[in-house]
Amino acid sequence: MTSQSKRLGVTKTSLPPCCLRIHPIDTSLIILGTYQLDKPTGKRTGSIDLYRFDQDGLNLTLIKSIATESAVLDIKISPFDPSLLVSAHSTGNIQLWTVDHVSPDITLVENRHIFDSEILITSIFFNPQEKNKVVTTLTSGELALIDLNDFSHEVFDTVHDLECWTAGFGELGQLSNVVFTGGDDAKLIAHDLRMKNSIWSTSYKHHDAGVVSILSPNKNWNNSNSNHLWTGSYDDNLRILDLRVMDKVNPQLIPGFIPKVLEQKNLGGGVWRLIPSPIENDNRVMSCCMYDGARIIDQVDQLFQVSRYFKKDHESMCYGGDWSQDGKYIATCSFYDNVVQIWSPNDVE
């Protein structure tokens, strides 16, 4: 039986939260992106909120909230510069923020409208190989690479038939030239970063609904299985796909060779986010499972099993989550509840 993880803290937010990150240097700081839709007007608004978690008193305190002109769908802290945060918005724009973890404080430094205002940027990811490049996924079904130096951008040739929800960079060997995307059309597409086109695209044989999370091995997580790709879907299933790598030391994709599913497991909720443990050689993964809380997933003999479960006050969509850099706690948020919860990946109730 899966054990319920121990809750360490909880707070209510003013607006519905959909994404969050824990600062990598000061792990007491939690940054939140919110999204609110005014149904009569159709206008989407949001905020960037900065919280502090007192690990002794187990309290969450709001330090600062900055209203944004549009809703925030995703936020990421640069893996190269912990003072840089980017946010993806509902009116085709991205914003750059400076995070001062000493003060602490957060300040908007740039707001760039890159795409049509009717396009929502659904996710944003830093390229692990190039510090000034990010990739964005769009409700138009497109994938675009943005240079943060001058905000020039390139749209990839291959487009999803419906909304593109998420992306994931390959990091090992020749996979460093690949970015994967998942869309509402239930397709997983492998794109060549050098050619900006498709290597292959899956079909309904792989996923029964939209692909909403992607996780590829990196130098700290699952590096002994560089031929594996993890995907999460609206169909509630977590899958491990075999990328048909012939050489594990120098993995590469073969154009036209569609990956096969090695294993899949129903997690009881849509697998919206897959966040690997930040601890070296700890191959656990945290999954935000939408309407059924969150899970900790362990790997056993290259397969996986759920070892921890957490829900508590996550009665609605659990969309955002992150590990603290020291691996001691996890923060997750649920949308319609206006709730952020802190819990232990190790201790149980």
For residue range 243-295, list pLDDT tens digits in order: 865 455 555 676 777 888 999 999 999 999 999 999 988 999 999 999 999 99
Q: Beginning with the edge strand found earlier in the chain, give each strand of the sheet holding 211-215 in spatial order.
A: 211-215, 228-233, 237-242, 260-266
Q: Which tokens is 280 given?
A: 């070296």
Q: What is the C-alpha to C-alpha distance for residues 235 and 266, in angstroms, rounded to an integer?
A: 8
Q: What is the DSSP string of 219-273?
A: SSSSGGGTTEEEEEETTSEEEEEE---S-SSS----TT---EEEEEEE-SS---E
- 164 in Cβ contact with 149 (< 8 Å): no
Domains of the chain (ranges; CATH) run 18-267 (2.130.10.10)
**pLDDT score at 1:** 62
Q: Point out which residues pair with 143 in neighbouring strands.
A: 137
Query: What does the pLDDT average to over 305-321?
Result: 96
Q: What is the C-alpha to C-alpha distance for residues 267 and 239, in angstroms, rounded to an integer?
A: 10
Query: Is residue 304 scored above 60 in pLDDT?
Result: yes
**pLDDT class of 299 with cuts at 50, 70, 90:** confident
For residue range 114-138, list pLDDT tens digits in order: 999 999 999 999 999 999 999 999 9
**Residue 139, C-beta contacts closer than 8 angstroms, at least 6 positions apart:** 119, 120, 122, 163, 164
| Closest C-alpha to 264, from 242, 286, 244 | 242
For residue range 170-206, list pLDDT tens digits in order: 998 888 899 999 999 999 999 999 888 888 899 878 9
Instruction: Give the pairing of strands 294-300 and 143-147.
Output: unpaired
**pLDDT score at 207:** 95
Question: How many Å is the maximal CA-CA distance in the chain?
Answer: 56
For residue range 218-250, list pLDDT tens digits in order: 988 988 888 889 999 999 999 999 886 545 555
Q: What percent of the chain has pLDDT over 90?
A: 82
**pLDDT score at 245:** 53
User: Is the C-alpha dihedral spanning 308, 309, 313, 318 positive or negative?
Assistant: positive
Measure Cα distances from 280 to 22, 218, 277, 284, 326 in Å.
Answer: 18, 10, 8, 10, 10
Judged by average pLDDT, the poorest of 73-77, 140-144, 222-226 is 222-226
**pLDDT class of 58 with cuts at 50, 70, 90:** confident
Q: Which tokens is 250 given?
A: 């120098």
- 46 in Cβ contact with 68 (< 8 Å): yes
**pLDDT score at 204:** 78
| Closest C-alpha to 333, from 67, 72, 57, 24 | 72
Residues in the chain: 349
Mean pLDDT for the chain? 93
Judged by average pLDDT, the poorest of 23-27, 90-94, 269-273, 297-301 is 297-301
**pLDDT score at 65:** 98
Measure Cα distances from 115 to 112, 123, 217 in Å.
Answer: 9, 14, 31
**Residue 83, C-beta contacts closer than 8 angstroms, at least 6 positions apart:** 98, 99, 100, 101
Give the CA-trace dihedral at 234, 164, 215, 158, to 10 degrees: 130
Residue 218 CA to chain centroid, in angstroms? 15
> HSE-up of 339 (CA within 13 Å, CB side)?
17
**Phi-psi bin for 58: left (phi > 0), alpha (psi -120 to 50), beta?**
left
